[in-house]
C-alpha cells in the first residue's frame, strides 16, 4: 500500500480541607474566591474553559457540563470547581468527575483498502454478509468508525478513526476533501451524457427522496472506464448516477480521498495515517 500526498458517585462536600471555586458572588465582607482567569480555547496549548474541557474529553455535551460543574461534581487538581468558565490546561491539570479522572482520548487513524463483497457498517445487513471489521477486528474493539462509506460491491479507500471531528469533515467533503473514483461500466457514455452527468442528475437519496446531484467532474479514462470526482456525496451516488443513464457499473474503485491516495493493489491491507495525510 502506498500513500501519496498532493502538494457520580457522590462527591463528599463535607471536608473542610477542600477548596471550592464557585460561580457566585461572595457574602458581604468575605474575600472573593481566587479563580483562574477564563481563557479562550487554544488547541496548541490545550487551554480552555472547564465546561469545554469536559466536552472535549467526551464526558458530556457543553450544556450538560455546566450543570455538572455548578452542582459540585468536578474537581481540578483536588479542588471542587463550581465555575464552569474556570480555565484549565488539558495537558497539565488533573480533572475528575464524580471522583473519576478523565483524560484526553488517544486518537487513532487508519486507511483501509476495502475489497468488494464487504459491508462498511458496524453491523452487517444479514448474517451471511461479510463486514470490513471481520478483516480489521481491532478497529471495532478500539471504537473506530468509518467515514466515506463504500457500498458492498465497491472497493477501495476507506478511512477509520475514533476522532469524530475528523470523521465529520471527511464525510461532509468539499473542494479539499473530494472523493475520486475509477469506474468501469458495461456501456460507454455519449458526450452529451457526460455533460449531463457533470452538471447533475436526479437520483433518490438514502431516504428515497428525489434530489439533483451537485456538479461533479467526469472524464474518460479508457474503454468504458471513467474517472469521477465528487465533492459532496450522497448514498451510493456514483452507482445511481450511472443507473440514471441505464448503465451498469462493472467495477468501482475509490482511489483517493482529499490528499490521500492508494494504488489498486493489496486489497484488505490497512495502514496508519495522520489527519494531515487526508485534510489540507
Q: How many angstroms separate the Cα of 34 from the Cα of each of 24, 25, 83, 90?
A: 12, 12, 11, 20
C-alpha grid cell, residue 155: 472497493
User: Which numeric CATH code is attached to 20-102?
Assistant: 3.10.290.10
Burial per residue of 140-163, b for 16 or more beta-carbon CB atoms within 10 angstroms, e otherwise: eeeebbbbbbbebebbbbbbbbbb
Does residue 149 carry a pLDDT above 50?
yes
Does residue 40 carry a pLDDT above 80?
no
Confidence of residue 170 (pLDDT cuts 50, 70, 90): very high
Share of the chain above pLDDT 70, in %: 81
Computed over every residue of the chain, the mean pLDDT equals: 84
What pLDDT is recorded for position 45?
64
- Domain ranges for the chain: 20-102, 109-278
Query: What is the value of pTM for the model shown?
Result: 0.67
Does residue 9 carry a pLDDT above 90?
no
Rounded to an integer, the average pLDDT of 145-171 is 90
Tens-place pLDDT, residues 180-200: 999 999 999 999 999 999 999
Q: Where are the alpha helices (DSSP H) in the chain?
A: 50-56, 62-70, 132-135, 137-141, 164-172, 191-199, 237-244, 275-278
Tens-place pLDDT, residues 19-31: 444 444 434 333 3
What pLDDT is recorded for position 142?
87
Which CATH class, in words, describes the domain spanning 109-278? alpha beta
Q: Hey, is 276 helix, strand or coil? A: helix
Amino acid at each position: 500500500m502506498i500513500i501519496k500526498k498532493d502538494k457520580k458517585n457522590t462527591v463528599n462536600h463535607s471536608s473542610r480541607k477542600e477548596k471550592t471555586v464557585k460561580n457566585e458572588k461572595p457574602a458581604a465582607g468575605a474575600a472573593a474566591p481566587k479563580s483562574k482567569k477564563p481563557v479562550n480555547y487554544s488547541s496548541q496549548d490545550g487551554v480552555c474553559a472547564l465546561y469545554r474541557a469536559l466536552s472535549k474529553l467526551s464526558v458530556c455535551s457543553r450544556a450538560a457540563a455546566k450543570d455538572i460543574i455548578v452542582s459540585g461534581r468536578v474537581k481540578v487538581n483536588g479542588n471542587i470547581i463550581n465555575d464552569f468558565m474556570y480555565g484549565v490546561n488539558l495537558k497539565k491539570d488533573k480533572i475528575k468527575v464524580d471522583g473519576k479522572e478523565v483524560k484526553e482520548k488517544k486518537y487513532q487513524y487508519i486507511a483501509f483498502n476495502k475489497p468488494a463483497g464487504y459491508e462498511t457498517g458496524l453491523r452487517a445487513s444479514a448474517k451471511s454478509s461479510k463486514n470490513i471489521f471481520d478483516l480489521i477486528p481491532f478497529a471495532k474493539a478500539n471504537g473506530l468508525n468509518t467515514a466515506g462509506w463504500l457500498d458492498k460491491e465497491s472497493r477501495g479507500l476507506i478511512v477509520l478513526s475514533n476522532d469524530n471531528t475528523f470523521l465529520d469533515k471527511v464525510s461532509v467533503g468539499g473542494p479539499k476533501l473530494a472523493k475520486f473514483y475509477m469506474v468501469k461500466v458495461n456501456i460507454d457514455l455519449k458526450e452529451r451524457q457526460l455533460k449531463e452527468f457533470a452538471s447533475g442528475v436526479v437520483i433518490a437519496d438514502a431516504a428515497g427522496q428525489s434530489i439533483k446531484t451537485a456538479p461533479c467532474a467526469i472524464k474518460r479514462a479508457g474503454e468504458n472506464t471513467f474517472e469521477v470526482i465528487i465533492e459532496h456525496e450522497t448514498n451510493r451516488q456514483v452507482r445511481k448516477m450511472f443507473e440514471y443513464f441505464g448503465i451498469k457499473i462493472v467495477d468501482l474503485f475509490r482511489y483517493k480521498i482529499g490528499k490521500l491516495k492508494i494504488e489498486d493493489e493489496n486489497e484488505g491491507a490497512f495502514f496508519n495515517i495522520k489527519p494531515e495525510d487526508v485534510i489540507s
